[in-house]
Structure 1
Amino acid sequence: MPLPEIAGILAGDAHRRDAAPGPGRWSAPGIMLAGGSGPVMLDSDCVVVADARIDNRPALCRELGLPADAPEAAVIAWAYRRWGEDCPARIEGSFAFALWDAGRRRLLCARDLMGVRPLCYRVEGTTLRFAQSPAALADGADGSRCVREEAVADFLYGRVLDAEGTWFAGVRRLPAGHALVHERGTMRLRQYRSITATPHTPGSDPATTLRGLLDSAVARRARDGENVGVLLSGGLDSSAIACLLRDRRKRAGAAPLPIFSMMFREPRRSNERHHLDAVLATGGFAPHVLDLDGYAPLAGFESLLDATGGPALSPNLACMRAVVATAADQGITVLLDGHGGDEVVSHGYGLLDELAARGAWAALWREARGAADNYGRSRLVLTRRVAARQTRIDARFIARALAPFDREAAPAAERPPAHLLSRDLLAQSALAERLRALARPEMAGGEQAQHHAVLADPLQAYAFEVHAAFYRSMGVTARYPFWDREVVEFCLGLPAHEKLSQGWSRLVLRRAMAGIVPDSVLRRRDKIDFSVHLARGLVRHHHAQISELLASAASPLAPYVDLARAQRTYAAIAADPDAASGRAVQMVWRAVALGIWLETGCGAKAAGASQPREAAA
């Protein structure tokens, strides 16, 4: 279902249901669903609006006695009639929906298990409003718009610490796998389903199983009659999706698969062209490759902020716009995206903690190679950090012995800055306390516990929210085969050694794609860091703008950013962009993105509208 159509339901009009005593009202002017139909009404008492792609629609239609091609919203309505509030747990796929049951005076909102389709809400008095974008609900009943200090601090730090919080005070995010029920003046939030590991079957071949699951996930997201393309980088995840769909199209006698890529020729260390060419050489593709050397990351940045509803922890969206625009110009309406492959399959680094807990230090040293290569750290540093998480006496000894090799084990004064937050913002946002309260995935235990913690991180649902807004603004729908529930839960249930072995991380996916993806891609250990291109673009095209934003006493960043530290950090980047650390580049970019947003009024559109307290300070 094209997102611009559903935006008129859940985002564009910010529809509300008055929960005050008296007849319930459903206000939904201009509602449109796919195909030009209105909201699905089961009868006079039940109406559903939905942004949904239901993977088990045929099975549900058979069980509910519906036509096989029944619209998703109709399937949801009848599922509710059969199972009531438990209906979200019966639906496979990605969805966000709102259902009004007039007979029970009940509003049911639900978001899919992985959180692929976003849903936010705002409660003011007896009124609940819902939307797919937090920005659509940003203005309160009195017209005010207030940005949360905690959200500012979290963004500048580069984390998502609150699963429900958004940029705007009063606007909450419905977490993945949750349902919200507003009934007769009361509201309750509940988790209707959680990610559960599929038990591993000894003696089976995980690679063969994963290949079949991923192939099915790709097929479900590339339906007949849709204009589908694939975002291809030359990495393992996007290559797997592209090659699986290409093979399906070949067997069906379809035209070559359109793929869309962006490339940087310089510096050489971040040039993926040879990996991309290896995939294209296997045939069956219609490639569109954009050379983005020299791009200006802040060009048209205000429109990007408007599209995403505020600064996002995704600096690459600035260059992705050209790629997605090219796809849209080619008539593509659906893009398959390899986003999440790392998180879903898992690198298997929890195996290192399992080995350390057993005192298997020689095996840990051998396996640490793949993790160290991916992190860009030495095995000494990685081994020290794993040892430091253990309680064994030998682990403590190893951690102390290796401490001189790890900068983060040095005194705080000798470490590079971890953030650019001002002291006032640190205190007011209680960032340090909230970070201490947050359980880090690597502290969860062994591989399965760490893997589950990564999948449940609020960052995942947040990323889908940002991506949904971004792609919607481009007139394209993105779909993510790796975030298929069966794929996720199968990978979660695998033993650690199926993911990390002999220094090779994500081994099960490499084995699954053997004979499908070129060997040179299967053997890749590196991950391209695009920070160098971001640094080059900021310095080459926006130096004066950044310098003024970080140096002016009147800068909107003054209450939130340690401007002296920010100036020093940026000066080092400007002196040699190619040598700048990725962390430093990201810190400066986040500060600049926030400053531009504050300068433009944080998305407030109405003339004379109240500005956020922080922007007006």
Structure 2
Amino acid sequence: MSLTGGGGAARPDVVTAMLARIEHRARDGSARFASGPFAAGYGRTRAKGVVEEPFTDDAGRICVVDGWIASRSEIAAAAGRPETASDPELLVALVSRHGLAGLSWLRGEIAFVIWDPAIERMIAGRDTMGVKPLFYTERGDDLRIASEPAALVLPGEPKRTLHTRAIAMALVEEVATPAETWLENVHALLPGHLLVWERGRMRVEPFRPLSMVRDPGLNANEADLALEAALRAATRDALEADAPVCIFVSGGLDSTTVAALAIAEARESGLPEPLLVTWRYPGMECDEGEYTVQLAKHLGVEIASIDVPRSSEAYEPTGPLDFMHEGSFAPLVASVGLLREKDIRVMISGIGADELFITTGFEVEATLAHGDIRRALAFADLSRSSPARGARRLAAALARAVIPAGVREQVWGRRWTERMDSPAWLTPWGRALVHEGRAAKRAFLRPWNDVASQEYLAGELAAGWQGPRMLEQLDISSHAVGAMARFPYLDARVVELFTSLDPAHRYDPEWQKILLRRIAARHLPASIAWRRDKTLFEDFYRHAVYAIEPTVRRLFETSELERLGIAQPGSLLELLRQGRSPDGFQSLGRQICGVLAAEVWLRKWAPHCAHGQGPRL
């Protein structure tokens, strides 16, 4: 989308160029339109089998939507429209009737833009959990918004500047602030926020942030029943589509629980049952075929099985996903044939459960705050691990509970960032960038630092869960294979309920994901619900890297990270050598994969970017 200020006319040519950069999102076609200074377009993969024209009401308001609205009956009632109305129509009616405050009702995985020509106002919004990405940039009088940063970097225009701090933070699997991207002046809109442009002025404001409700007073049994109800509602909403739906399942707890709830909801609601799909890794330790066989037998369904390719060609950084090389995308590419054959347009995933249900590290003080000394001591783990380590954990919890975050940062802040691990191959300047980024992250999380663990968890989610760019990657990769991804665990209703519960119910010192296990035990075999082992994918990622070792070596020999001054000369080739053995890859594999993804990304973007400030430029 392009918006031209200063009285200028719309730029449809800019929109055409932007759409050309994200053509992989246009499985079902594209459209362009303009009104005064406003020009927009979209390339869409829809849950419906056709592309509707952009919605325009009688007053000339225009709306474009990426994603989907959940709880349609509630939204339709508030908007005064029938449930059969399209998502853009519901959004326009909601704002027309209630103003921007009406968007507080909005739920779902959605990004949207609304243009009102009568008052010359543009509204762009992103869902509460940030599942649907939205990026923006300003160039002179022009404001541009897109679903991917690639659409904001156009050939023939002045080069963008690389954001070296964001790149360095990504290499340690962190993000400084959720608005940062790898490009200067290209910003991610914060989850649950609006970007409003009105008569030449721009502002960013919250409209549906995470609601931190205090403990509702549920006991342990009530807590897991309430969580199951919320998760079932989220799964039921994710099943709503006019096209076939699939669920990718492993043999692990997260995806199998979603699959079991989805099958149950489909059968009770009369919806078509989703297709269950699993990836097989023949000859690798990460193959979970035995558990998917148990799942299929227990649910009474068939599961489509796809063997993940082992040939080196499958892992070369080429094709629709070359901008962010990850071995885990090879299975997605291998699935394209099946997805197209079955006309799958919606993929439901179990991603998000780890970030939500695994302990945050703040359980000791959270349970102390609730007066549960016995459980606090259990979380400190004084007996099973080193007593000294447990004592330090308990002392740190007491310090966080007693000493305000601002005082802690003044006394220990710099020392804390220096003690945290940074890869040995970073240059001193690279480490300085990481320290600076971690300080920025602490500043962003400061509102959550002096409160119980549920608020800290919300801050971590807001600050970019599961490493940098993960939601962006998931969104882009799903569109690249022609489908729309949906994530029941990241439904705001599920997150808000879980984070409001007493930590004594949410976490257990003996079992990770205790509430999810209790839900799973009602729907899955005990061998899955109460599995203690967790499948690790180091052997697969090692194969994904070393199957294309000549390509990786060429990238590391002419490293962009070294040229930027972030990595030490020759250090990345040594990293690749050390990771060749299984033991070496177990400790260094995440670093190698992160560096490889960064090198591929930097080469793709190099023609459009100038280097940021650094010591070796």
Given that residues 129 and 137 in structure 1 are in contact (C-alpha distance below 8 angstroms), is that contact kept between their aligned partners in structure 2? yes
**Distance in 2, Cα, partners of 1:486 & 1:371:** 37
1:401 maps to none
Match of 1:73 among 69, 72, 88: 88
Q: Verify: 1:212 aligned to 2:229, yes or no.
A: yes
Decide whether aligned partners of structure 1 residues 321 and 298 sit closer, same or farther in structure 2, where only a CA change above 3 A counts: closer
2:66 maps to 51
The alignment's C-alpha RMSD in Å is 3.9
Given that residues 380 and 393 in structure 2 are in contact (C-alpha distance below 8 angstroms), is that contact kept between their aligned partners in structure 1? no
2:506 maps to 499
One-letter amino acid of the counterpart of residue 593, structure 1: A
Given that residues 315 and 544 in structure 2 are in contact (C-alpha distance below 8 angstroms), is that contact kept between their aligned partners in structure 1? no
One-letter amino acid of the counterpart of residue 327, structure 1: L
1:404 maps to none
Provide the secondary structure at the position in 1 that maps to 2:496. helix
The number of equivalent residue pairs is: 572
**Distance in 2, Cα, partners of 1:255 & 1:66:** 26
Matching of residues 296-307 of structure 1 within 5 Å: 296=312, 299-306=315-322
One-letter amino acid of the counterpart of residue 589, structure 1: C
Match of 1:457 among 460, 463, 487: 463
Matching of residues 52-451 of structure 1 within 5 Å: 52-139=67-154, 142-198=157-213, 199-203=215-219, 205-223=222-240, 225-251=242-268, 257-268=274-285, 270-292=286-308, 294=310, 296=312, 299-306=315-322, 310-311=323-324, 315-323=327-335, 325-347=337-359, 349-354=361-366, 363-364=375-376, 366-367=378-379, 383=390, 386-387=393-394, 389-391=396-398, 418=423, 420-427=425-432, 430-439=433-442, 446-451=452-457
* TM-score, normalisation: structure 1: 0.81
**Distance in 2, Cα, partners of 1:498 & 1:30:** 44
Match of 1:25 among 29, 37, 44: 37
**Distance in 1, Cα, partners of 2:394 & 2:138:** 47
Measure how far apart 1:77 and its partner are.
Answer: 0.6
**Distance in 1, Cα, partners of 2:382 & 2:318:** 40
Measure how far apart 1:84 and its partner are.
Answer: 1.8
Q: Verify: 1:590 aligned to 2:607, yes or no.
A: no
2:14 maps to none
**Distance in 2, Cα, partners of 1:153 & 1:248:** 44
Given that residues 328 and 476 in structure 1 are in contact (C-alpha distance below 8 angstroms), is that contact kept between their aligned partners in structure 2? no
Given that residues 113 and 177 in structure 1 are in contact (C-alpha distance below 8 angstroms), is that contact kept between their aligned partners in structure 2? yes
Measure how far apart 1:142 and its partner are.
Answer: 2.8
Provide the secondary structure at the position in 2 that maps to 1:176. coil
**Distance in 1, Cα, partners of 2:383 & 2:81:** 50
One-letter amino acid of the counterpart of residue 28, structure 1: A
**Distance in 2, Cα, partners of 1:532 & 1:315:** 11
**Distance in 2, Cα, partners of 1:62 & 1:555:** 53
One-letter amino acid of the counterpart of residue 221, structure 1: A
Given that residues 243 and 343 in structure 2 are in contact (C-alpha distance below 8 angstroms), is that contact kept between their aligned partners in structure 1? no
**Distance in 2, Cα, partners of 1:459 & 1:537:** 24
**Distance in 2, Cα, partners of 1:325 & 1:419:** 42
Measure how far apart 1:134 and its partner are.
Answer: 0.8
One-letter amino acid of the counterpart of residue 272, structure 1: E
Measure how far apart 1:384 and its partner are.
Answer: 5.5
Measure how far apart 1:193 and its partner are.
Answer: 2.5
Given that residues 561 and 567 in structure 2 are in contact (C-alpha distance below 8 angstroms), is that contact kept between their aligned partners in structure 1? no
**Distance in 1, Cα, partners of 2:560 & 2:209:** 47
1:571 maps to 577
225-234 vs 587-596, which moves further:
587-596
Given that residues 68 and 110 in structure 2 are in contact (C-alpha distance below 8 angstroms), is that contact kept between their aligned partners in structure 1? yes
Measure how far apart 1:319 and its partner are.
Answer: 3.4
591-600 vs 485-494, which moves further:
591-600
Deviations 1:494-525 (A, max 9, x none): 11111222511221111122220211111123
Match of 1:477 among 484, 506, 520: 484
251-260 vs 73-82, which moves further:
251-260
28-37 vs 334-343, which moves further:
28-37
Given that residues 178 and 462 in structure 2 are in contact (C-alpha distance below 8 angstroms), is that contact kept between their aligned partners in structure 1? no
**Distance in 1, Cα, partners of 2:83 & 2:375:** 53
Measure how far apart 1:361 and its partner are.
Answer: 8.1
One-letter amino acid of the counterpart of residue 78, structure 1: A
Deviations 1:104-146 (A, max 9, x none): 1111111111111111111112211111111100238834243
**Distance in 1, Cα, partners of 2:350 & 2:531:** 16
**Distance in 1, Cα, partners of 2:161 & 2:514:** 47
Decide whether aligned partners of structure 1 residues 89 and 371 sit closer, same or farther in structure 2, where only a CA change above 3 A counts: farther
Provide the secondary structure at the position in 2 that maps to 1:390. helix
Decide whether aligned partners of structure 1 residues 362 and 581 sit closer, same or farther in structure 2, where only a CA change above 3 A counts: farther
**Distance in 2, Cα, partners of 1:543 & 1:599:** 17
Given that residues 45 and 101 in structure 1 are in contact (C-alpha distance below 8 angstroms), is that contact kept between their aligned partners in structure 2? yes
Measure how far apart 1:274 and its partner are.
Answer: 2.8
Provide the secondary structure at the position in 2 that maps to 1:121. strand
542-551 vs 499-508, which moves further:
542-551
**Distance in 2, Cα, partners of 1:99 & 1:255:** 33
Deviations 1:68-117 (A, max 9, x none): 20001001111111122223212121211111111111111111111111
Provide the secondary structure at the position in 1 that maps to 2:302. strand
**Distance in 2, Cα, partners of 1:274 & 1:246:** 20
One-letter amino acid of the counterpart of residue 26, structure 1: F
Decide whether aligned partners of structure 1 residues 356 and 7 sit closer, same or farther in structure 2, where only a CA change above 3 A counts: same
Given that residues 61 and 68 in structure 1 are in contact (C-alpha distance below 8 angstroms), is that contact kept between their aligned partners in structure 2? yes
Given that residues 89 and 193 in structure 1 are in contact (C-alpha distance below 8 angstroms), is that contact kept between their aligned partners in structure 2? yes
**Distance in 2, Cα, partners of 1:455 & 1:165:** 15
Given that residues 260 and 289 in structure 1 are in contact (C-alpha distance below 8 angstroms), is that contact kept between their aligned partners in structure 2? yes
**Distance in 2, Cα, partners of 1:52 & 1:293:** 31
**Distance in 2, Cα, partners of 1:351 & 1:252:** 38
Given that residues 108 and 491 in structure 2 are in contact (C-alpha distance below 8 angstroms), is that contact kept between their aligned partners in structure 1? yes
**Distance in 2, Cα, partners of 1:523 & 1:379:** 26
One-letter amino acid of the counterpart of residue 324, structure 2: P
**Distance in 1, Cα, partners of 2:120 & 2:306:** 53
Gap regions ≥5 residues in structure 2? 1-21, 403-414
What is the percent sequence identity of the aligned residues?
21
* TM-score, normalisation: structure 2: 0.81
One-letter amino acid of the counterpart of residue 137, structure 2: R
Decide whether aligned partners of structure 1 residues 196 and 382 sit closer, same or farther in structure 2, where only a CA change above 3 A counts: farther
